[in-house]
Chain A
Amino acid sequence: MFAYTATAPRNQDQYFQLYVLGASGSVGGYYPHNSTDLFIGDTARWYVGVTNSMGLVQLVEVRIKLGNSTIAGPDIAGTNSSVAQQVDSSYRFLRENETWEFPLFWKVTNASINGNTTTITQLQMGNQTVGVDISAVNASKFRMIIELWTLDASSDSFQYGWMAGPNHHAAWLQVWFNVTTTLGS
């Protein structure tokens, strides 16, 4: 009994935590004007964090996608990722219980507003300029979707979410915003 207790591996839940914080490093304050309105050229300063509680070293990828209210986000079951356009990604090997937090500074550098349709055509993600073409009509908004992907070592390919035993799990976040020329509420 003693020997078994001393040598048997301990069962633990296997999971990741994914979070996004605003400019002050806390929940909220995601945009410069204390609203979800973002002017062209305004920089959104976010901090994205991932904690590995899988019990083993993992290679994680955080994918950033730009969507609107009509482009499908990740499904509720957590099996399919969003089909929105990927605009950035970051990779990191994480030890057990390690938290990786990295800055995600971005801005809309080019957009057109024609009547009730707003179209984003260019973003700056960190130092990189990314061409996009995504529109939102009327009061509908845009959203940044943050997805967690992991490297499946056996197949040597990235999978959306992760496997904990036979079960698939996923973690994703989204933050909504408006591109505007006049400040709203």
Chain B
Amino acid sequence: MRSKTVLEILPLIVLLLVTINLAMAESQQPQLHHGFGLALSSVQNAELAGATDAELSPLVDELNRALTVNLNALKESPPSSLGQVDQTLTHVQAEANSIQQSALRRTSTGTLTAYLSGAFAAVIATLLCAIGINVRGKYHARRLTQRRITLK
């Protein structure tokens, strides 16, 4: 009965020890704040939407400052709080999303303008071509009439 209890508890103890060991090993690895990936993703999406360098530069500067704070905090023993990094990353994400929205609006307006300009240019070209053909036709007809009169 006793050995049965030990056999039941033993796997639990092993599991507990492994979990503690893994947790300790993980905490020994200096890690950057997980929010950096999300913040980078937001900035890249804003860039893909057409945000300019001038719009994104302040965000990149903020991210680099947060990176320095994060790395300095990791050097301290025990690592100090990353609250400031957290705040900066949240702010960068919000700003990048807002820039992305305005860049998207700007890009779609630009695309619409480009296509409308293209369509307008095509209409003008067609009209000019039609006028040209018309004028050429009239000129030929007049020349033909003049030649007939001269031959008589």
With A92-B64, A151-B36 as contacts: A6 and B114 at CB distance below 8 Å: yes
Complex: A169 Cα to B34 Cα, angstroms: 24
- Complex Cα distance, B118 from A157, in Å, reads 45
Is the CB–CB distance between A2 and B44 below 8 Å?
no
Question: Quick check: A3 and B60 within 8 Å, CB to CB?
Answer: no
Segment 79-127 of B: residues with Cβ below 8 Å from A: 110-111, 114-115, 117-119, 121
Q: Is the CB of A93 within 8 A of B63?
A: yes
Q: Which B-chain residue is minimally distant from A9 (CB atoms)? A: B48
B53 near A95 with CB under 8 A, answer yes
With A2-B117, A2-B118, A3-B115 already in contact, the answer to whether A93 and B38 are too (CB < 8 A) is no
CB–CB A153/B114 < 8 A: no
Q: Is A113 an interface residue (CB 8 A)?
A: no
A3 touches B64 (CB 8 A): no
The dominant DSSP class at the B interface is: helix
**A95 & B57 in contact (Cβ 8 Å cutoff):** yes
A123 to B53, CA, bound (A): 40
Number of chain A residues close to chain B: CB under 8 A: 22
Q: What is the CB-to-nearest-CB distance from B116 to chain A, in angstroms, rounded to a whole number?
A: 8
Once the chains are docked, how many angstroms separate the CA of A153 from the CA of B38? 6
* In contact, B40 and A59 (Cβ under 8 angstroms): yes
Confirm or deny: B41 has a beta carbon within 8 angstroms of a beta carbon on chain A: yes
Residues of A within 8 A of B73 (CB): none
A151 to B32, CA, bound (A): 11
Please report whether the interface of chain A is mostly helix, strand, loop or mixed according to DSSP. Answer: mixed
Whether A96 is near chain B, meaning CB under 8 Å from some CB there, is: yes
Residues of chain B at the chain A interface (Cβ within 8 Å):
32, 34, 36-38, 40-41, 43-44, 47-48, 53, 56-57, 60, 63-64, 67, 71, 110-111, 114-115, 117-119, 121
The 10 A-B pairs at the shortest CB distance, nearest first, are namely: A156-B37, A3-B118, A153-B41, A3-B114, A3-B115, A6-B114, A153-B40, A93-B63, A56-B44, A7-B111
Q: Can you give 25 contacting A-B residue pairs, CB < 8 Å?
A: A2-B117, A3-B117, A7-B110, A7-B111, A7-B114, A7-B115, A56-B47, A56-B48, A57-B40, A57-B43, A57-B47, A57-B60, A59-B40, A59-B63, A93-B40, A94-B60, A151-B37, A151-B40, A152-B37, A153-B37, A153-B41, A154-B37, A156-B36, A156-B37, A157-B37
Enumerate chain A interface residues (CB-CB to B < 8 A).
Answer: 1-3, 6-7, 56-59, 91-96, 151-157
